[in-house]
Structure 1
């Protein structure tokens, strides 16, 4: 005769209850409902390849960095002296857009229409540039309006790294690494998108390449170390990249 199995007692008895099972499943469902929308904010590198968010102002890198050849560091000046490249303040935009308020074609069209109608041409302001003026609370004379408050332009970050990764723009920029090496051909993009997966393997492969040959200070790989007869390449002209864990994770 088979020995009867002992009934579960204590915590095991409650875990086998249909009511407890229902409660646990409900809690799991609610947890997923809360966490799933947040997964994008904590996405690991590689999950945002091709990410191209809509920005509050339709800023064209193709026009500014490509056609007009504005240097990256003019707007992102923090890249050579701080960890973050930074987003320019609206005041930086005003260095040019105090005088340039619309595309040249729109201004010429207004001039021609004014001549035809025998009147003074009116100032043309494009809808996107007007957003800069609104953020700075400027009036029609480009003066601060005391009746209004300035508001920040809430740009959407494109290149996101996890909190456990430390990346510093300074050593890369000062070694001559081009912005396009990581950010892609931004001078051809109307709207910036992520073109590299920014995974650890991608970063390490680049560092290994630099470790083998070094950089010449202009972001270019140098040749292999010169033979002893020709003398070593001066240390000041060679830059190496570490692949130690603590370089990026600490």
Structure 2
């Protein structure tokens, strides 16, 4: 959620306590249910479901849990009423925030989001009020350490990614970041999977075009309060911000 290493943020999330892991599994469970409802329970013919399964595995969700979630969703399609929502607004000091939610109760999710912005001295805006400051991209993060046994240096990895349809690949200290268009995300991810490339994270995300620096202590405290409250909501899938954390 900052302009620094995306992989560091991913590791920090995954290393949180069991309650945080439970939240991640709940979010992915909802995504599995929606993917099944939209495209069926067979991953072979449902690319969205394949993407969610890959995301589940990257987050160490057990195979039994994944399969049970798919079976449950397939057996109760009428009860799957999840809806994808997007909220936009500003935190203190003009920091832009986008909230992606997946919910079966719009009133509950709206109340959670509104409360998080208010308690952090921010303001919830209208649709489109901040999304123009972000680009929607497919993002695949590769852990360098997990790739040590593979015969892939940066140049060979770049060639593989670009041939698969990626737009760009960037090297960071501990990871590689592969960017795609949203439309090409599934095909690029699947090609990397076929090549045995381990992925720490793979998802369609909102990437800020520019970052905002906030250093004043009270402002930082309020921003963290807003973001922490948003992350605690079971309806919130992802939170994106253009805050350049120090």
Instruction: Tell me, yes or no, whether TM beats 0.5.
Output: no
TM-score range normalised by the length of the shorter chain:
under 0.3
- Under a length normalisation based on structure 1, what TM-score does the superposition of the two structures give? 0.21
- Whichever structure has more helix as a proportion of its residues is 2
- Under a length normalisation based on structure 2, what TM-score does the superposition of the two structures give? 0.21
Instruction: Determine which structure has more spread, i.e. the larger CA radius of gyration.
Output: 1
